[in-house]
A and B are shown apart, each in its own frame.
Chain A
Amino acid sequence: MRSPLNIKRGPILLTVILGCLILFPVFSPSPYLIHIITLIFIWSYVSTAWSYMGRFGLVSLGHGAFLGTGAYITALLFNFFNLSPWIGMLIGASGAVFLAAVLGYACFRSGIIGDYFALVTLAVGELVALSIIAMREITGGSLGFTLRSLGNSPLYFQFGSKVYFYYISLLFLLFALYLWKRIDKSKMQKALKAIGEDEVAASSVGINIIRHKMAIFIISAFLTGIGGVLYAQYITYLNPHTLSGVTVSLAIPFKAILGGMFNIWGPAIGTAMIVSLEEYIRVSYGTKFVGVSEVVYGIALITLIIFLPKGLYGTVLEIFHKRQRSAETIT
């Protein structure tokens, strides 16, 4: 599908948006705003990585498993062995990849697709959360643990100012979007699309189903693992409930779906929408009663899913295309 951004005006508009995002911190806005946008970048990056596979019908409800594996391995290596998170994150993400490889091979080998795949991954996300809690001697259990603070030491992925995290997470997001484009141009995209539409037909024309699914699952898990590290370094606190388990595993697809997971900009738009909504509701209701903001947030999510089944961006695109088509029929 062609997006309106790709038609001529696209590159200019993109450059303007990117320029604004890069220049934004220069005008020294409130640290709160920088914080919110950094969170949007990090979660956009994660939900984009989720959509790599989600858009081909490989719906994972357990990406918290990769987030948690990546973040915990990296942070524990740093806290106990003083290993820089820049190196640690590769080990942590490799842990996520290992998990994805075992899980993916087992699932795809025995033809687990659709609902069953979603449920297996949901269970794995919860399994990782419970394992982190059970290993409470080193992980701090449900109470979580704090990263050792070194002050401003870029070599150890710790910075004195939040602005650094703003730029780093923007870079990661741009990389994830670039990778999406690369996947779209590759042969893999065509194969996965065929697999997503009809597995039997795809295998009958000689597409190696298991290999392609494994590849995209591993790429997605690797990026998600790094996303966990990014979030943990930024917040400097790790908790099994915010990094793993059912809640966060469902929050990632929520963002992708509400933006529209079939388009490159969808997950990022969905994330921007959800994170701002969350913050807005928290600020306006959160201070009066604990929990009210989450109730409103939950109702808003359900309403959005019912009325925007293709996501915000997906729905806008659809209206755009319909108008274009009707314009063509008139002329």
Chain B
Amino acid sequence: MFEQILNAAINGILLGGVLALLAFGLNLIFGVVKIIHMAYGQFVMLGLYLIYVLTMQVHLPLVLSALIAVFAMAILGLLTQLLVIGPLLEAPRLNQLLALAGLIIVFENLAMVIWGADYRGIPLYLPILKIGNFFIRGSCLFAFLGALITLGLLYLFLNKTYIGLAIRATAQDTEIVKLMGVNSRSVYFITLAAGGALTGIVAAFFTPIYTVHPHFGSSFTIMAFIIVVLGGMGNLLGGFISAFIIGVVTSVSAVLTTTEIADIIALLIFILVMLVRPQGLLGTRGI
């Protein structure tokens, strides 16, 4: 039993890596545009479908399909900013939230119209590694390493490039940054494109692990929310750490109980954190 729990914990850490990537995008968008992207998980769902179509029906190599998906999701991010978020920047918060929630309805049903309710996946068999007494799925290990590398590149992008500086500055103070000659609108576009591309990357890493269906995204949106709040909204390091905490907690409690109770536990953690420490584990209380 103990070994089983330990094994679940290891899998949770591996899953946490990919979740950290997902939460990073949500966090970045919240930090910069100050908007809660309700349909973020649905982007991942669309990315998975796109990779599926390109690989299984157009017969492109998997790596190429993944690259196209990343690019397409970036464009979808741009379109979201152009058509939905942009016109609502001055609107009440609730209207922004609901418009993005409207995207959930659009995306999920679009997937339903095009691909139906069936589960679709690419049959990929990565070997299962046996280390000591523990079994680790190769696909999870691959996703974990890939997510860490992507996060490293993102860190460099944010800290070493001019655009990265502009993004971080906008996140800190939108008004002052305008005085410095940064065009905040184009920073928003770049952020949404980067956030979109991230969902494409997450979809690429998810491809060998999950099969996709139209309602695939919602659980990951909620998971990403929980992580972002636990780490402190807008706090990227906090999000990174809490992704692993949530990954381990859900994975271990799923082994001990059922997946629904694991989700309930994650939600309870979320609610408790909101009530007791709304600034998150590492956040400083700004609001």
Contact = CB atoms under 8 A, between A and B. Distances in A.
B59 to A, nearest CB: 26
B101 A309 contact: no
Interface string A305-316: 110010000000
6 contacts: A116-B274, A127-B267, A290-B113, A294-B105, A297-B105, A302-B103
Contacts of A116: 274, 278
A134 interface: yes
A61 interface: yes
A120 B94 contact: no
Given A110-B275, A110-B278, A127-B268, A305 B98 contact: yes
A114 B88 contact: no
Contact of A123 (B106, B261, B270): B270
Nearest to A306: B87
A130 B106 CA distance: 24
Interface in A254-290: 254, 257, 289-290
Contacts of A133: 260
A210 interface: no
A77 interface: no
Contact of B271 (A54, A123, A294, A298): A123
Given A246-B218, A291-B112, A305-B99, A257 B94 contact: yes
Interface residues of B, number: 42
Interface string B196-237: 000000000000000000000010001001100100000000
Contact of B274 (A120, A253, A295): A120
Contacts of A61: 97
Contacts of B263: 130
A309 B287 CA distance: 25
Interface of B: 36, 84, 87-88, 91-95, 97-99, 101-106, 108-110, 112-113, 218, 222, 225-226, 229, 258, 260-261, 263-264, 267-268, 270-271, 274-276, 278, 287
Contacts of A295: 105-106, 109-110, 113
Contacts of A309: 88, 91-92, 95
A298 B103 contact: yes
Contacts of B92: 309
A127 B102 contact: no
Nearest to B106: A298
Interface of A: 54, 59, 61, 106-107, 110, 112, 114-116, 118-120, 123-124, 126-127, 130-131, 133-134, 246, 250, 253-254, 257, 289-292, 294-295, 297-299, 301-302, 305-306, 309
B94 A253 contact: yes
Nearest to B96: A305
Nearest to A127: B267
Nearest to A302: B102
Nearest to B117: A290
Contacts of B275: 106-107, 110, 112, 120
Most buried by A among B84, B97, B110, B113: B97
Contact of B94 (A106, A118, A290): A118
Given A116-B278, A298-B103, 17 more contacts: A61-B97, A123-B226, A123-B274, A126-B267, A127-B271, A130-B264, A253-B98, A289-B113, A294-B109, A298-B106, A299-B102, A301-B98, A301-B102, A301-B105, A305-B95, A305-B98, A309-B88
Nearest to A297: B105
Given A119-B225, A120-B275, A130-B260, A292 B268 contact: no
B36 to A, nearest CB: 7
Contacts of A123: 222, 225-226, 267, 270-271, 274
Contact of B109 (A131, A291, A301, A306): A291
A126 B265 CA distance: 12
Nearest to A131: B264
